[in-house]
Amino acid sequence: MSYAVAYVATALGFLVLDIIWLGFVAKNLYHREIGHLLLEDFNMVAAFAFYLMFIAGVVIFAVAPALQAGSWKTALLLGALFGFFTYATYDLTNLATLKGWSTTMTVVDIAWGAVLTSVSAVIGYIATRSLIGG
């Protein structure tokens, strides 16, 4: 039960924050830096698969250890690290292999991945502790 609560809470936090970021805050940055690489309509199946798997990773590698430790700081730190390393893998691979992938986009996206994942992990941790107890 606690994993289900952690998953849903983490997913809601992650999705809301990512929609705000992608749809409003950084929309112009993405279009300016990598607009020539963007699809007209994004691939919903691939996006859905990413969110399902990534949230599972956040719960496994950040929220669950934080619940075990009883510390939101653990969620914050492990979430930031998980986000940093996963987004860095994506962005640095793109920078190394794609024509026109921006260094600015790489730095901003890695930073966003760390912040987004850490905040989402804390949301998952707090919601789970509040609803399940412990």
Angle subtended by helix axes 44-58 and 72-97, to nearest 10: 140
pLDDT grade, residue 133 (50/70/90)? confident
Task: Between 110 and 134, name the one with better pLDDT.
Answer: 110
Q: What is the pLDDT of residue 67?
A: 97
Contact indicator for 132, 1 with CB cutoff of 8 Å: yes
All structural domains of the chain with their residue ranges: 2-132
Q: What is the pLDDT of residues 64-106, one digit of tens each?
A: 999 999 999 999 999 999 999 999 999 999 999 999 999 999 9
Residue 109 pLDDT greater than 90, yes or no: yes
If you write DSSP's letter for every residue of the chain in order, what string do you get? -HHHHHHHHHHHHHHHHHHHIIIIISHHHHHHHHGGGS-SS--HHHHHHHHHHHHHHHIIIIIHHHHHHT-HHHHHHHHHHHHHHHHHHHHHHHHHH-TT--HHHHHHHHHHHHHHHHHHHHHHHHHHHHHH--
Q: Give pLDDT tens digits for 22-72.
A: 999 999 999 999 999 999 988 999 999 999 999 999 999 999 999 999 999
pLDDT at res. 134:
56
